[in-house]
Amino acid sequence: MAAAKSRRQGAAAASPEPKAQDKEVVAGANGSPSIQIAGKKESADEEPHENIFLLWPNIIDMLTDHIPVPRRIGYSRIVLAVASLYYMPLHPRTCSLLYSISCLLDALDGYAARYFEQSTRFGAVLDMVTDRCTTACLLVFLSSAFPRWAILFQGLISLDLASHYMHMYATLAMGGAENSHKNVDKSRSRILSLYYTNKTVLFLACALNEAFFIALYLLSFSSPLLSPSLLQTVPDQAAQAIHQGAQVNSSLLRHIFTNPYSAGALELARANKMDSFWPWVLAGVSFPVMALKQIINVVQLVKASRWLAEGDVRARRAQGLPRRKRKTA
């Protein structure tokens, strides 16, 4: 018995005792503290963990340093875009300012992602979705402001969404998951390669495209030529009753389509004090670039469709399709 005990003691003495600095106190399964020896962890735990898709607490706390800088900019764009939509029906100055800042942050977002080495696929998709949604919302408002041209604005929304979706899907399906939608080879399309690889061209095309729609938005408040309803005035009797404290209908629907007796008419009268000169200048300067941007969208849609069709042809040939029909006797 003593011999067995001495052997166990000798084995324990022969095994090296872990040093104090190599021990780490961690929480056990039942919450009680336990000691873990350094070097026994799995190799996956040795690398820093990055949470690309942020949890809700981090999203709510977006102004802290827990969120990477590019994503903070991306979420700020969304907040500004939503705020601009809130002010869109009746506050053209505030809406235009918030919308313009949201669009300009798009360029800053990409620069920050490259500078801080935080470029992610989630960030790229978030930027594209934000761009498509904000532009579509503005075009929806223009459809209500200029109902005669609603079908044109609806077509622009459809073209914008379809071309970018087809291009993104074709890039992932044919180019591989690691390939970016901005990596366009000149052999596929020279204009798309220039558009996506030249940052100056990309910025000017996107900025002036949005500038044209913002100019139309401002003209809907300031130009009776485009919006004849702006010539309507509040009758003297109704205006006097309003100034004396008469209640008026201030529902959101009547803000969008105001009548002379609504509170929205007074707000539009204040907004209509804007001069339409600079919106006309902005619309004239940005119109050619906007038209070019729509041509690029058409080219992008056609090229992506052909790229997917080529892949389908190769896949069908690999499966032996179409099968040759047997000749009947």
Give catalytic residue positions: 131
What does the DSSP 8-state code read for residue 35?
Answer: E
SS3 278: helix
SS3 322: coil
Residue 265 near residue 234, CB atoms below 8 Å? yes
CA atoms within 13 A on the CB side of 317: 6
Two structure tokens written together for 276: 């339409």
Widest distance between CA atoms in the chain: 115
- Say whether the peptide bond before residue 279 is cis (omega within 30 degrees of 0): no
> Burial level of 294, CB count in 10 A (0-12/13-18/19+)?
middle
* Closest listed residue to residue 24, CA positions, set 39, 12, 35: 35
